[in-house]
Homo-oligomer: A and B are copies of this chain.
Amino acid sequence: MTIYDISEKAGVSIATVSRVLNGSDNVSAQTRQKVLSVIQECDYTPNAFARGLGLNSMNTIGILCADSSDLYLANAIYHIERELRQNSYNCILCCTGYGLEDKQKYLNLLVNKKVDSVILVGSNFISDNDAENDYIREAAKEIPVLLLNADFDCDNVYCSLCDDFKSALQATTYLIESGIQDILYLYSSKSYSTLRKLSGYQSALTQKGLPLRTEYMQYFPGNHADLPSIADFLSSLDHTLQYKAVVAADDNLAIGAVKFAHKKGLSIPHELSIIGYNNSILSTCCDPELTSVDNRLESLCHHIVTTLIGILNDKEMPQKVIFSGELIKRGTTR
């Protein structure tokens, strides 16, 4: 039962039904009465949010992200919200934090509010421990779920992602081919995307016949927005590590490596090469500027909105779309 059925049964236009639902004064008492009767008769409950909206904005999309102050996530929200609104969709944003319980809670909240679809922004919504992904499977039974930069196979789940494995593999290969063999991989989350990058780093080494050494894969346990402590972390590492390059899982960590090099008096890129990830505003902040992987965020966002609109208009849409990243070369590599 939709607003279209109500309009037909009541013999009035959709706009009139919408006006009645919106409590507009611009409807005669008689017409209002007729529409309300049909609604009651049909036991029609309009979409919670559609009720407040005009004809061209009948859909509300929930957007979940862990932390809207994270540079990558903030940019994603910006692009998605803009594009949805240009298409007359409304957005409800929830910042969930990184805990599973809160992610579950907010996703349920949105599903219960009968949003038309949800977009989960960032790969941290998917866990390696598959049981922890059940909350997404449950939601997908109710409404389409779209994942930005995560990969998850499930009915009614659609993924737009950048191939982080390939991007990290290419970045690492680029360093090896420039003559560097001792490369540190630095990461600060265990999200799907971060672990894919780690695999890419490992594959590059393996393909070139280089050894995998766990001490060259370092997990920074602190807050990746605290740049000075990233530099301190690198300073604190075992001095027997003889790396000549750092591949970082994001630009924050890479900036930490730049700061570390400055502190230690290492010349960049001659004594230490550094590659970041995200090609964010941070990549042009430092001196020299940061070589970084452009992970096509804007294209991903554009695609996810296109997919969403297609689904809501009953079109057949691909369940997975994968973009390739590009290494943007600047001053921190040769």
Q: Given the known A-B contacts A52-B113, A68-B68, A81-B68, are A92 and B95 also in contact in the complex, defined by CB atoms under 8 Å?
A: no
Among A43, A71, A252, A285, max chain B CB count under 10 A is at A285
**Oligomeric state, in number of copies?**
2
Interface string of A27-59 (1 = CB under 8 A from B): 000001100100010010101110111100100
CB of A262 within 8 Å of the partner chain: yes
> A77 on the interface (CB 8 Å rule)?
yes
Q: What are the residues of chain B within 8 A of A22 when measuring CB–CB?
A: 45, 48
Q: Is A287 an interface residue (CB 8 A)?
A: yes
**Contact indicator per residue, chain A 78-98, by CB within 8 Å of chain B (1) or not (0):** 110110010000111111010
Some 20 contacts from A to B, beta carbons below 8 A apart, are A33-B40, A47-B52, A48-B51, A53-B113, A57-B109, A67-B78, A68-B74, A68-B81, A69-B77, A69-B78, A69-B79, A71-B71, A74-B74, A81-B93, A91-B92, A91-B94, A225-B281, A227-B281, A227-B284, A228-B284
List the B side residues contacting A74 at CB < 8 Å: 68-69, 71, 74
Chain A interface residue count: which class?
35 or more
Residues of B within 8 A of A196 (CB): none
The yes or no answer to A318 lying at the interface (CB within 8 A) is: no
Cβ of A75 under 8 Å from chain B: yes
Report A285 CB to chain B, min CB distance, Å.
4
A166 at the interface (CB under 8 A from B): no
Given A92-B91, A282-B281, A285-B285, A48 contacting B49 (CB threshold 8 A): yes
Q: Does residue A259 face the partner (Cβ distance < 8 Å to B)?
A: yes
The 9 closest A-B pairs by CB, nearest first: A48-B52, A23-B45, A69-B78, A74-B74, A285-B285, A52-B113, A68-B78, A227-B284, A93-B93
A255 within 8 A of B: yes
